[in-house]
Structure 1
Amino acid sequence: MTQTVYILERLAAVIHQLVRADAAGHGLLPVHMQVLSFLAQANRYSDMPIAVADYLRITRGTVSQTLSLLERKGLISKKADPRHGKRIHLTLTADGAEVLAAGWAYRLDQALLASGSDAQSFADDLRSVLGTLQGLNGHQAFGQCRQCAHFLSGDAGHRCGLTGEALATDQTIKICREWAREKPGTASGAT
């Protein structure tokens, strides 16, 4: 094994410890922090319970219990989709966003900035490794909307080529469960 594998293993362990510590500090479990983090990044096609289950690769029962707890604690809110009867959208409340504000992801971001490395190049390399591992293991890839094969942009604004719906700019920088790998020769945006 290469030294990089060992470094990534240690980095994963440190991140896991940070997530556990953040969760404990708020009376939560690590899975609760992961759900909050996902919802902070999810676009309108992904802010649903089924997408949480797919993204975190956990059971629907675990998702249901987790969402109920987060809603009781006032960290998320649920809202029915006006166009699709049974569909529920999930959003972070101000308290939910505050839980994440100075958490592990913020500290990791600060460490990356302090490293002085080319952040975009590093992110591209990690995305490539992640996408390969997801493919080898049959995992669904999620990715940033504007890096999707379905993303369309023109004079009339942004659209999803899969659904045909218009996309607000803020939605195009979030992750989507409908994401598809871009055409060959372009950068992957998997998460």
Structure 2
Amino acid sequence: MTIATLYLERLGALLQQSLREDAARHGLLPIHLQVLQYLAQANRYSDLPIAIADYFGITRGTVSQTLAVLERKALLVKQADAHHGKRIHLKLTPAGMAVLQDSWAERVQGALDMQAGGAALANTLRDILVALQRLNGQHAFGICRQCAHFRTDDGTTHCGLTNEPLAIEQTGKICREWTAPA
């Protein structure tokens, strides 16, 4: 084991511990907190139950149970998609957003913000993530504006895959349709 592998293992263990402690503080399981964090970062192509299953590598039944708990605790709501029949989008409530305040993810972001070369570190971590996802045969998710399908024409942004316009705030979020640029 190299020192870099050891550091990654220790960081992973520390993040898991922080996640468990934060979840318990709110009467939740770690997966509940992870789903809330994911939804806070997901764009309109990714705020779907099937996207959660893909992202976390969990069954649809587990997703259904998780969403039922979060909905019962008034941490998220389901909204019908006006254009796609039975599709349901998941949106955090103000209570759901409040749970994420001072969470493990906020603390990690604070630690990253203190590091010199943060952009280079983010690129390195992204490259490691993409490589591991490929090795493990997992679907890659990424930031919309870093996707091969992202297009900007005449000051407007749209998805080259779906040809749908994209609101600027959506382009900085996680997309399940993400493809690495060539």
Range class of TM-score, shorter chain: over 0.9
Pairwise CA distance, 1:140: 0.3
Pairwise CA distance, 1:15: 0.2
Quick one: distance in 2 between partners of 1:177 and 1:123?
19
Corresponding residue of 2:128: 129
Pairwise CA distance, 1:174: 0.3
Quick one: distance in 1 between partners of 2:151 and 2:7?
38
Corresponding residue of 1:189: none
**Residue identity opposite 2:63 in structure 1:** V
Quick one: distance in 1 between partners of 2:111 and 2:145?
26
Give the 3-state SS of the residue equivalent to 2:98 in structure 1: helix
Quick one: distance in 1 between partners of 2:180 and 2:108?
26
Corresponding residue of 2:157: 158
C-alpha RMSD over aligned residues? 0.7
Quick one: distance in 2 between partners of 1:117 and 1:10?
21
Pairwise CA distance, 1:57: 0.5
How many pairs does the alignment contain? 182
Gaps of 5+ in 2: none
In the superposition, the TM-score normalised over structure 1's length comes to 0.94
Gaps of 5+ in 1: 184-191
Corresponding residue of 1:29: 29
Quick one: distance in 2 between partners of 1:18 and 1:178?
30
CA-to-aligned-CA distance 1:26-54 (integer Å, 9 cap, x gap): 00000001100110010000000000000
Corresponding residue of 2:86: 86
CA-to-aligned-CA distance 1:122-168 (integer Å, 9 cap, x gap): 00000000100000000000000000000001214000000000000
Comparing 29-38 and 103-112, the one that deviates more: 103-112
Sequence identity, in percent?
58
Quick one: distance in 2 between partners of 1:150 and 1:67?
30
Give the 3-state SS of the residue equivalent to 2:119 in structure 1: helix
Quick one: distance in 1 between partners of 2:41 and 2:146?
14
Give the 3-state SS of the residue equivalent to 2:53 in structure 1: helix
